[in-house]
Amino acid sequence: MSDTRKPADEYVVIRHRPGYRLRRTLILLAFTVIAAVVGYATGLAQGGFRFSSAEATNEVLAQDVDTLQERFRKARQNLVNLERGRAIDQQAMREARNTIAGLETRISELEADLTFYRNIMAPSEASKGLQVDNFTLAPARGDNRYRFKMVLTQVGNNNSFIAGQVAVNLIGTRDDEKEVIALRDVSEDIEDLGVRFRFRYFQDVEGTLALPDDFEPLEIQVVAQAQGSNASKAERTFEWTKLTEN
């Protein structure tokens, strides 16, 4: 019997290793676990870096907030100072205006006084002698109550005294009828029908009057009569509305 083999037939001899597959599987699994652990550690490290960076950013932002708050506080204080300065300026302006108004009023009063004395000392020929210079009214405390002031002057010759009486009457209507009321009937400061006067240059007559509730005043009539060597008469009528319009 002859031993004949076909050339194409080859055989492979494999060494039998018990447990080889199991060890290889375990090694692959170990490498996988190690790779996972390394990746996780790397992730933690990177996360730690990001956390540190966030903390630094928070510190910077906190510093910026503090800076902005300080700037805001200074700006608000500047605004308060400006508002206070404006209020002070406005108050000073008001006080200056009031002072100017007071000075203007005082100047007007002094000019009126100067004119008054000039007329007394150096009058025109037509205005010499006894004069009813002025009559004024101002509201007083109480209903229909007024303070009054009457000024009599002697213009021109002031070397001697002038004396006499002056009568003041309120002319108006009551129940649609004309009525004349003497000043003494509406004023507790006047006792007589005629108020006596005696002066060289001028004399004031002052007091308070109270109007009757049903009386509507229209005019105030003043009649002054001088007696003696300087006998003369002065008469003047004042409209009530003009006396009380201010």
**CA–CA–CA angle 93, 94, 96 (5° rounding):** 65
Pairing of strands 195-199, 215-227: unpaired
148, amino acid identity: F
55, amino acid identity: E
The predicted-structure confidence for 170-222, as pLDDT tens digits, reads as follows 999 998 899 999 999 999 998 888 899 999 888 999 999 999 988 999 999 99
| Contacts for 239 with CB less than 8 Å, ≥ 6 apart | 218, 219
Q: Is the pTM of this model over 0.75?
A: no
The predicted-structure confidence for 133-167, as pLDDT tens digits, reads as follows 889 999 998 888 999 999 998 887 777 888 999 99
